[in-house]
Amino acid sequence: MTIINPITPQEAKDDFDNNKPWFVIQAFNNLIGKNFNGTEAKITKDEAIEEIIMLCPEKINRNDVFERNWLEVEGTYRKLGWKVVYKCPDYTESFPAYFKFKK
């Protein structure tokens, strides 16, 4: 008989972080490279969505990106040494949401 253990929270997080489609990672890599100033790269949420849609081999839209959690890349890049912050305005602020990747 095979014993199956429940997945741990860390295993679930690792699985979530490690299972992004290649084109999502490529989209962020492209934008980091394009926007990197030697210390950090700032990428707006809209830039990321547009790049993902452009690279995706199937026809998708903005809602697909959100429904599939493809913007949730912080953990993936943090594991590789990046300091990643996602900043989204609250109801009293007005600026485009963005990711900041620092070395």
Q: pLDDT tens digit string along 16-43?
A: 888 899 999 999 999 999 999 999 999 9
Could you list the residue range(s) of the whole structural domain that residue 95 is in?
A: 21-102
> What percent of the chain is modeled with pLDDT above 90?
86
Give me the number of domains the chain comprises: 1
Question: Is residue 13 domain-resident?
Answer: no
Question: Is residue 9 domain-resident?
Answer: no
Question: Is residue 2 domain-resident?
Answer: no
The token pair at 46 is 């809209």
pLDDT score of 49 more than 90 = yes
The enclosing domain of 46 has a CATH number of 1.10.10
pTM of the complete model? 0.89
Question: Is residue 52 domain-resident?
Answer: yes
Question: Is residue 89 domain-resident?
Answer: yes
Cα distances from 64 to residues 26, 59, 76, in angstroms, run 17, 10, 20
For residue 96, give the nearest of 45, 37, 41, 36 by alpha carbon: 45
CB distance 48 to 28 below 8 Å: yes
